[in-house]
Structure 1
Amino acid sequence: MLSLQKTQSKQNLVCYTYILCDLFKWGTDETINEFKKTIQVDVIRELINHKDSVVRLNSNEVLSWIVKTAEMKRMAKLIQDFRYKNQEKIAEAVEQGILKEICDILERINKNEDGMAGVADPVCFVISLIFEGNPQFTPEALEQGRIVDHLISIIDSSSTKQAIFNQIESVRVIVNELQDEQLHILFDRGQILPISKHLGNEEPSTRYKASEIVERIIQSGIYDINDGDQNPFRKQMEEEGTIQKIMGKFKSDKSINKMVNFNIALTIALLFKAFPLPAKYSSIAVNLKINCRDLDENLCSKALSALACLAQCE
């Protein structure tokens, strides 16, 4: 069927590649070896360049199962072990060096090693399973040139047309486990910009997760300052043009991207704490005032806090 891919509809190719992924994922060693003999690798390599992001994503995974079988089987086993939050297994794996193993895999992905692109999704899923609810493991991940840096590099090199929800989710999970002073490290390394690029990603959940990460890092800038003090991140981000780029992703149509818009509004308000909000950003204040009346208490509370930050300049 795949050998006739030029005559297949996008929907069929999505279906076929999903089936292949599942056959590899749930197959025995014997069936996996049979699939590897049967599938035409050249056809899969062609599909990696398909215009549809899901077809590309699935095809990369299939290629990895063919040429990097050991790595894919290893990730599948870890996902199975960690899926139900078996803390004992996770702690044991960390003690035995799983974070170093993951770091090495991410480095190979960043070096564009043939067949490693499809390992990105499962290894990022493993990362999310390891770090969610386990802040004690974050210092090693945050070390220079380690897991977080490699993840940001993968995200930075990815197009906004690519489906990178697992990659962005793994960063979101780690960021949510970090202390404010650790988040300062991410800011100092310039990791806001590559994340904020994906506020314009074609995939809605990727846009939302990117907006949540950016807002969380910017929020850390005011964690230990007094009322009336300004966010130390603002000046640098203005000089670099990052604030303008983030504002460029804010959509005036409130019927779309509601949570992305809200997180951007929070981000801008936190940046302009105790500093006059430029008139060109007035839509931010409007968005926050609207969300102050939202039935969601958490949303309302965040909006009020953000408006309070803006009010401190008076």
Structure 2
Amino acid sequence: MTAILGAPATGVVAPDGINGFYEPVPEDNVPRLRRSAGTAGIEVAGEMSHAEHLAAVRAGEIGSMHSWELVTAVDGPGTRLTVFLAGCPLRCLYCHNPDTLKMKDGEPVAVDTLLTRVRRYLPVFRATGGGLTVSGGEPLMQPAFLGRLLRGAREMGVHTTIDTSGFLGTHASEALLDDLDLVLLDVKSGLPETYRRTTGRDLQPTLDFSRRLSDRGTAMWIRFVLVPGLTDAYDNVEAVADHVATLATVQRVEVLPFHQMGRDKWDRLGMTYELGDTAAPEPELVERVRGQFRERGLTVY
């Protein structure tokens, strides 16, 4: 990832000398530098035959990992060790991590290796109320690996979170969900046609997964990316807000203004970036959208 210089690195805890990129922080909408170590410091799995590798993947002993970072105020409460897995079924037009879309592009990492890293940061988690967040890509692309990782973290008393679109919610077993304290659920759109335009996929699986989480009592933070000309239509936001308001376990809604920070990755990968002419939303639009959620009694950032 390419470092973007010249802005504050508030809220970041990370190794020295690693690259970073900016991400809006919901509390104050000030871009913060997120630092990624790639897989630096994480030992990749050793050589094995194709059959051995496939068996280990199916057992959840090995996963395909893109990167990791240690960061505050972004991926859940406290300081989080955020692990980015490789592979995603969606093709969001505004994706700022297009280098995580294919599982084959990740590095093979043993779940025990990652759990060793989690254990290293136990004092930080205890001091800040933080924990482990698994993101991507889409973590539910690798449910066996994800389940083992969450179980191991829970056994250490670590707060656990996943960041997911919910599109693959049927991949999450009840046992996996039992090991989750929080789900960061990305609701890309409230109207099916807008969702398909934005992601290339159907909306209904996300709605179904959110209902399942609510019914079983799993806490959620809802994330909605506000993209002018794509997701900002009043009726689209109303549809998201209407649905979210029916979910009993939503603790907050984060309205994340669109930005161009990931565009250089699309260029480096030779991918067509369709939102090159799209500007960040004006403050008035951001406030209008936040107001639509607040009107339903939701806590909004």
TM-score for the superposition, normalised by structure 1: 0.30
Compare the two structures and name the one with the higher helix fraction: 1
Compare the two structures and name the one with the higher strand fraction: 2
**Higher-Rg member (1/2):** 1
